[in-house]
Amino acid sequence: MTLNPTSLKPQNLSSKLILITAAALCITLSTNLLRRPFSKSKSIHNSQSPSSPYIPSPAKTLSKTALRNAPYPPEDALPGARDVSTPYGSIRVYEWGPEDGECVLFVHGISTPVVALGDLGHEMVRRGYRVILFDLFGRGYSDAPSDQTYDARLYTTQILLVLASSHIPCSQFHLIGYSLGGGLSVAFTRYFPHLLRSLVLIAPCGLIRGDKHVGWRSWLYYDSGILPEILVKYLVRRRIRPVVAKKPAYVAAGAEGVLVAEEGEQQQQQRRRRNVRGDGDSNGGAGWDSAPISKSRPGVTVSDVVAWQVDSHEGFVMAFLSTIRNAPIYAPQDDWQALSRILRIRRNAADGNDGAEFAAGLDGGKICLVLGKDDGVVVMNEVIEDAKAVLGHDAIEFVTLEGGHELPFTSSDRVAESIEGFWKSI
């Protein structure tokens, strides 16, 4: 998916403003670059050998001490860790749970690595399922291919590579996609529906109304073509790196301690500015930055993890930028039209009607969408309306829960309960 500069261009952005902004940004960048000694400048490819087709993950570039001090050290991030060697670089995979349990594969979002879905994985294991989670290329502890476009084709290939790496054959599995992972899961389902027992989408991309939720900065950085690429990377790096609170404060709450991140005035102002317009590439909403990444790591927030990736994963910004430009994020998406046809065929086959072509997989011809009522990125009412329009009322079961875009982190138990309820109903 390539964003269309014409269709997504904010109406209130004049050509004069674009030129003035571009000139100012170029001057700013030049000033910053001139202030730095050339010998200390850090290229995004500085850890990559000339013949290597990928940028190594922090697991390969950071010292043992630095890894131990990471927001989530690799040795205890999640159970069942393995690194899978592929032609695109290594993939960090986590797999655990009963070997005879139904297989569940998770696909995470654009900016948070898969550790953010770890609580949800643990919830499913407690219910008797076998789970597989992995870091998308350029996130967490997976390498970043440097010669590939980060589109649905690359990510679909990555899902297949992850499945092939398991010693337990998953002839059919449940696929759960969150945010960007939702859009990628729809694209995967378009080509491999027979592999799936079910499809669950949590706050999925793919139906976001770009003309409404893309601000002028996103258009300028990603699609205008006005700015040189080196400047775009510099600005995107600054844009997506959260301001991390320096000092936590603990307050008592019954028998447990609740960690409250102290925010300085600068951080509060930055969040308010980001939330003026729904630019989902830079912020996930009011509760996003301060959301704990896991119940087992209450002092580690989304801000901590994203900032660490920006600073420590040399391929993260490149992967993020290419994903925004090429992955299935904004509507309309042909993948959803194809999914509508697949689900209709499944329902016809279940009813004993004609059209049993590719009838295996996707039990019941229905998918589940789990949405947060306060999500400022994937807006509940818009997604419900648009999903019904493209898939039809009979093809979807909606679950709406209190919370924002951070729903699977902060409410993993309720999300897991809703997902299992859907599986039992089909």
Over residues 153-208, the pLDDT tens digits come to 999 999 999 999 999 988 899 999 999 999 999 999 999 999 999 999 999 999 99
Count the alpha carbons within 13 Å of 40 in the hemisphere toward its beta carbon.
Answer: 6
Q: What is the pLDDT of residues 340-393, one digit of tens each?
A: 999 999 998 876 665 555 567 898 999 999 999 999 999 999 999 999 999 999
User: What pLDDT is stored for residue 145 in this prediction?
Assistant: 98
Separation of alpha carbons 171 and 160, rounded Å:
12
- Specify the 3-state DSSP secondary structure of 300: strand
Task: Please tell me which residue, 384 or 214, carries the higher pLDDT value.
Answer: 384
**pLDDT score at 246:** 54
Digit-coded pLDDT (tens) for 237-262: 999 999 876 533 322 222 222 222 22
Strand locations in 7-129, DSSP E? 54-55, 81-84, 91-96, 103-107
283 against 186, higher pLDDT:
186
Identify which of 205, 172, 175, 178 has the alpha carbon closest to the alpha carbon of residue 188: 175
Q: Is 156 helix (H, G, I), strand (E, B) or coil?
A: helix
104: pLDDT confidence band, cut at 50, 70 and 90?
very high
Question: What does pLDDT average to over the chain?
Answer: 83
Strands (E), 341-426: 367-372, 396-401
Average pLDDT over residues 265-275: 42
Q: How many CB atoms sit inside 10 A of residue 200's CB?
A: 25
74 — phi, psi (to 5°)? -65, -30
Q: Are 159 and 90 in contact (CB under 8 A)?
A: no
- Can you name the residues that pair with 133 across neighbouring β-strands? 94
Q: Identify residue 9 by its one-letter amino acid code.
A: K
Single pTM value for the model: 0.84
Nearest CA to 135 out of 112, 154, 165 is that of 112
Give phi and psi for 93, each to the nearest 5.
-120, 145
Q: How many other β-carbons are positioned within 10 Å of the β-carbon of residue 115?
A: 28
Domain 5-425 fold is Rossmann fold (3.40.50)
Among 254-268, 289-303, 364-378, 412-426, the least confident range:
254-268
Which pLDDT belongs to residue 30?
A: 47
Contacts of 81 (CB under 8 A, 6+ apart): 74, 75, 92, 93, 94
Please give the average per-residue pLDDT across 4-13, as a whole number.
45
Q: Is the pLDDT of residue 26 over 90?
A: no
DSSP states of 102-127:
PEEEEE--SSS-GGGGHHHHHHHHHT
Q: Residue 210 above 70 pLDDT?
A: yes
Task: Encode pLDDT of 107-126 as tens digits.
Answer: 999 999 999 999 999 999 99
Tell the residue number behind the tokens 């139904």, with chain if given: 102
C-alpha closest to that of 330 among 108, 14, 7, 112: 7
Sign of CA dihedral 371, 375, 377, 382: positive
